[in-house]
Copies of this chain bind each other. A is one copy, B any other.
Amino acid sequence: MKCELISVGTEILLGDILNTNARFLSKELAALGISLMYQTTVGDNEGRLKSALDTAFTRADTVILTGGLGPTPDDLTKEVCAAYFGKRLFMREDILEEIRAYFSAKGLPMPESNSKQALVPEDSTVLPNKNGTAPGFIMESGDKKIIILPGPPREMEPMFRECVVPYLKKFSCSVIKSHTVRTFGIGESAMSERVSDLLESENPTVAPYAKDGEALLRITAKAESEEEADRLISPLLEDIRARLGCYIYGIDAQSIEEATVSLMKEKGVTAAFAESCTAGLCAKRITDISGASQVFHCGIVSYSNEIKSKLLGVSSEDLAHFGAVSDIVAAQMALGVKNISGADYGVAVTGMAGPTSDDPEKEVGLIYIAVTDGESLYLKEFHGRKNGSCRDYNRFVSASNAINQLRLTVINSPELRSEGNIKEFINSYPRN
């Protein structure tokens, strides 16, 4: 089976919305072992949509379309596809009833325009929509298959998983299995050098890439069964683990926060965050993970110096003398939030996210991170970006570094250097 995606929507061509559907479907198709050679986006236009179908069917036997199933006149994906296969549309009264019921459950009358969504191409399989009013469709004509899905991701994704995956599985005779090795604290080129010979491998393939300040390795095997794919991948994975050690925070982990939360659950430990430049982003990312309440109870966003002193007990003299972006302030913030919260670990981030610096001695991108268990202090200083759209990047990467520093502390990583006892560090800090 050779598949193509067509995303339908003028709003995508105008850049109003980001095409997350194409990514979702690409990932799903890859997991099913179905080749996807092209993605196309086309506007809500009859002629151009028809021509996109023509082009797609010269290269593929199955075309998946998303979008253009709405109630307005410019929604015409279903109409164009039905005509493409020479099929009529007819009104399905039962679907019309369902759409009415959908609105009345919300206490609303059904707008007349929505009745269009109950029109169904003849000889098609209707895919029910649990999260909206537009059903999807599967149509076949000879060797050609058209699968039509609604545009909103929360309608499209469950419909694809529940109705389309079982359908497609019938046509896939090979399995593509892939794993992603996620690392933190090592650059893409340094990582690639450590595994350079493995990058030549043909099956599985090993491909490095960088994303959001992290370096990743994607290992992909093609095989006739899941078991065979696992057999191909497993020794390679062991080899990579040995070469990259503590830099690896997870295989197929969603994110550094997911890996850290699950590690902390396993160890039964808790952490609290004091955030300045990241201002809630660490807390937000940790609590993105369902069940984070077991390991996270408290965060303090101390954006001003006054709050750093008042809530976290940071010395006003140190703030005045060394500035908020300093290792000594980071250390006091970490200790302060540990004490207030009673958590096992206190984590602090303070830095110059940019775009400008309010301290002439501190460059944009300078970030300090401190983690303490109440005894030892683990500091990290790093330099993010200095210009351009640096703010979002610096904040994101600062939060990633803070969460990773917590992870390294929890696993007691040999790569982490302690600054010794945190209270001694604070008391004996050179203040002259």
Listed in ascending order, the chain A residues whose CB lies under 8 Å from chain B are 7, 11-20, 22-30, 36-43, 45, 48, 51-52, 55, 59, 108, 111, 131, 154, 157-158, 178, 189, 207, 209, 211, 218, 220, 273, 275, 278-284, 286-288, 290, 292-293, 296-304, 306-307, 310-311, 340-341, 354-356, 385, 388-389, 391-393, 395
Contacts and interface: CB of A to CB of B under 8 A. Distances in A.
Given A15-B26, A279-B284, A303-B299, A42 B48 contact: no
Contacts of A17: 23, 209, 211
Contacts of A218: 14, 16
B287 A298 contact: no
B311 A304 contact: no
B26 A13 contact: yes
A400 to B, nearest CB: 14
A23 B41 CA distance: 11
A341 B312 CA distance: 12
Nearest to A310: B340
Given A17-B211, A38-B40, A287-B279, A307 B303 contact: no
Contact of A284 (B26, B111, B284, B307): B284
Contacts of A395: 284, 287-288
A301 B280 contact: yes
Contacts of A59: 51
A296 B275 CA distance: 13
Nearest to A158: B388
